[in-house]
Structure 1
Amino acid sequence: MNSEYLFPRRLGRRDFLKMSAASAAALVAPRFASAESSAPVKIGEGKWTYTLDESWGQLPEGMSWGFGCGIVVDAKDRVYVTSRSTSPCVAVFGTDGKLEETWSKDFGNGYDPEQVKATAHCVYWSKEPAGEFLYFTENVAKDAAGQPNLGKRIYKTDLKGKVLYTIGNVETEDATHQKFTWTNPTDVAVAPNGDIYTVDGYGSQIVSRFDKNFKHLKTIGGRAPKDAPKGKDAPHGTFNTCHGVWVNTLKSEPEIYIADRANGRYEVYDLDLNYKRTIAGDFARNPCCFYQHDGHIYIPDLGGLVAILDKDDNCVARLGDGKGVKKDEFQTGQKDKFAAPHAMCVDSKGNLYVLEWVPYGRVRKFTHTPA
């Protein structure tokens, strides 16, 4: 790479103000709002009631979301969104819901926006002793010669996208670049002691543990034998799309939660990656990843819902269940239902931000409005 930034090209509020009147208006007027529903759109009930904020998360004319990849919130409640789009590659929203920055990328002899779009996947926010950081996960994609040589990397950056460390598919190793064999990584999580956990969820199905300096400590996992049981009864320590990983700190000792998506279960391990238990039920259909807030774990699920677990793994809420709704109904309606939640986060006030694996991203904010 010949740039110190993962996304060196970016636009800010001044740039947006220079755009056309139509584009500027799109920043403050919700393009998808309609007069058909004057009543607020709500999901959940009781303590777990949320109201859709239809004015949040709008993009200027000329920009659009792609398939929803990752969404995180920083310590100041700024929201970072990645999707499979060339414009923007990353969008950053302020606490007022207005777009503050968009990031794109052009290394010249590195990845162009189309290659970024092809490899984009999850992003993880981490508060560490040295500050706040982002971990970007890249999927595999084909290069110009048609070979699967792009992606397969994880970047650690600061909040401006300055690359601090790269691990995975790198050409040469040095103090900030390390080779590691992933075939299609999907997620990252960081433990309180700085250890880093990764999942190769679209590829080899391995789960790996590194120390805070990316020194490899342990790898488990892989696919189950073809004749082994499937689903929730699949052999523990094997996975079928281990898509998401999280370090749950709600109990006396931290635990590693793994979203074993195609098996419809959450697998729980200790910090040394020894199996502890399995969580399954009708709320775990195709779980993608996890987010922890205020004593609970939130799980976006491609099966059309967001599940919330308490510290004892009990499901206390199933939000926006869109099971059975036709896919083409979500773009113009079904606002109180989810199509395919791929990632989510929760801000300091308990508000939810959910994006979905649909071609238009469907990035939405749900304000916490407990009944």
Structure 2
Amino acid sequence: MITWEWTDLWPDSAGSDEWAHSGIEVLPDGRAVFCAPEGGRLIVADVEAGTARSVAVALQEVHGISRWPGSETMLWLADPGAKARPGLGYDESIHPGRAVLIDLGSRDYDTASIVAELSQPELPDYEDARWRPTSVVEDDSGAVWVADGYGESLVHRFDPDGTLTLTLRGAEGVLFDCPHGLVVDRRRDSPEILVADRGNRRIVAFGIDGSVSRVIASDILTSPSCLAQRGTTVVVTDLHGGLLEVGPDDGVSRLTDPPAPTTRSAPWPNVLVHGALVRPTLTPGVLNSPHGVAVDATGDIFLTEWLIGGAQWRLRERP
């Protein structure tokens, strides 16, 4: 197994009593972008300089983050429309789900402007339900893909003008069960959309026309959450299995040891102390509840963890 050098991107988050649920992305200049635990603002961290700036954003939660192709400062954000709040005993505060394109602007901006927003699809599925987007990515044709992971377990494709053109419900006779994360996989001659179908313990590859290419499954793939391409492989944050990798032959292997404990029951991913739900003690090199993931141009892996206060790491492969 690879030996990693771990760097904490933003130690300040550990002092928050808010339950972080963020994705992560890396800008072309190497800065990492993720949501502050309380929501409503993005943190843009420069790990080499040891600095971080706060950028206000009009979303209560930023669960999914992906870069708009061709831009250095524009990002697609997914807000699933719920936020666990300490003032509510960590019950969820409900708000509208949103899928928006923002512009961070220059390094001096402290507020991100919304450039575009996708509307909830007008489908019978949503007559008595609301969409809860968990991931948004844009492919090379300009089509935008939205995973409604926490809502109706659907994946939608929109034209650049925001027109809904396709809805995917599953693959190989199995309906999606929390299609949590998406990535545009450019490892082959024709790009594909990979879906982390978390509840079904699989990753599904689609052509950009919506046709099923293949299904990736493994005994160690237990709860795939988010995906990022890393050269000829795809990195997977597996909520209960640690950091995994899908190779060119679709074989799945471990990049880190699995988290401990492996139980899915509360109070995990946090702990109870004198009856109060609090953040667990984290150790660099041991994942607790890996969530968002991104990869920079050098192959460094950036990831977030889902827990009170959150955690944001850079993993650099040691020689």
* Partner of residue 89, structure 2: none
Q: What's the secondary structure of 2:287's corresponding residue?
A: coil
3-state DSSP class of the match of 1:321? coil
Q: Aligned to 2:96, which of 148, 151, 156?
A: 151
| Structure 1 gap segments, 5+ residues each | 1-43, 106-110, 143-147, 171-180, 223-233
Of 244, 251, 266 in structure 1, the residue corresponding to residue 203 of structure 2 is: 266
Distance apart, 1:213 and its partner CA: 2.8
**Which of 350, 354, 358 is the matching residue for 2:299?**
350
Q: Residue by residue, what CA displacement relative to the aligned partner does 1:303-357 show, whole Å, maximum 9, x if unpaired?
A: 1311111222122433131143675688324432211111011222222221111
Correspondence list, 1:169-318, <5 A = 183-221=131-169, 236=173, 238-318=175-255
Shift of 1:134: 0.3
- Equivalent pairs counted in the alignment come to 286
Task: Identify the structure with the greater helix proportion.
Answer: 1
The structure 1 residue matched to 2:48, chosen from 96, 121, 124, is 96
Q: 1 CA distance for matches of 2:5 and 2:182?
A: 28
Letter in 1 for 2:115: L
Give the drift of 1:96: 1.5
Displacement of 1:237 in angstroms is 5.6
Give, in whole Å, the separation in 1 of the partners of 2:207 and 2:164: 17
Q: 1:61 to 1:207 in 2, by over 3 A?
A: closer
**1:249/1:269 Cα in 2 relative to 1: closer, same or farther (>3 Å)?**
same
State the distance in 2 between where 1:357 and 1:131 align.
27
Contact 1:66 1:83 survives alignment (8 Å): no
Q: What is the DSSP-based 3-state SS (H/G/I as helix, E as strand, rest coil) of the residue aligned with 2:28? A: coil
Change (3 A) 1:239 1:97: farther
Instruction: Give the secondary structure class of the aligned counterpart of 2:23.
Output: strand
Contact 1:153 1:185 in 2 (8 A): yes
Give the whole-Å Cα distance in 1 for the aligned partners of 2:95 and 2:18: 22
Q: Taking structure 1 as the reference length, what is the TM-score of the superposition?
A: 0.69
Name 1:11's counterpart in structure 2: none
Deviations 1:110-144 (A, max 9, x none): x6xxxx44x4321111222x6542011111249xx
CA RMSD in angstroms comes to: 2.9
* Separation in 2, partners of 1:163, 1:251: 33
The percentage of counterpart residues that share the same residue type is: 22
Distance 1:272 1:80, change over 3 A: same
Tell me, yes or no, if the aligned pair for 2:37 and 2:309 is still in contact at 8 Å. Answer: no
Q: TM-score, normalization: structure 2?
A: 0.79
Find the structure with the greater CA-based Rg. 1
State the distance in 2 between where 1:285 and 1:137 align. 23
Secondary structure at 2:69 match in 1? strand
- Do 1:257 and 1:268's aligned partners in 2 also have CA atoms closer than 8 Å? yes
Q: 2:119 — aligned with what?
A: 168
CA contact 1:349–1:368 (8 Å) conserved in 2 = no
Tell me the equivalent position of 2:109. none
2:87 equivalent in structure 1: none
For residues 169 and 258 of structure 1, do their structure 2 counterparts lie closer, same or farther at Cα, with a shift above 3 Å needed?
Answer: closer
> 1:60 & 1:154 partners in 2: Cα distance?
25
Partner Cα distance (2:103, 2:56) in 1: 16
Higher RCO (C-alpha 8 Å, min separation 6)? 2
Go from structure 1 to structure 2 and tell me whether the alpha carbon gap of 1:156 and 1:221 turns closer, same or farther (over 3 Å shift).
same
Counterpart-to-counterpart distance in 2, 1:216 and 1:61: 40
Once the two structures are TM-superposed, the CA of residue 301 in structure 1 deviates from its matched residue by 1.0
Determine the structure 2 residue equivalent to 1:27.
none
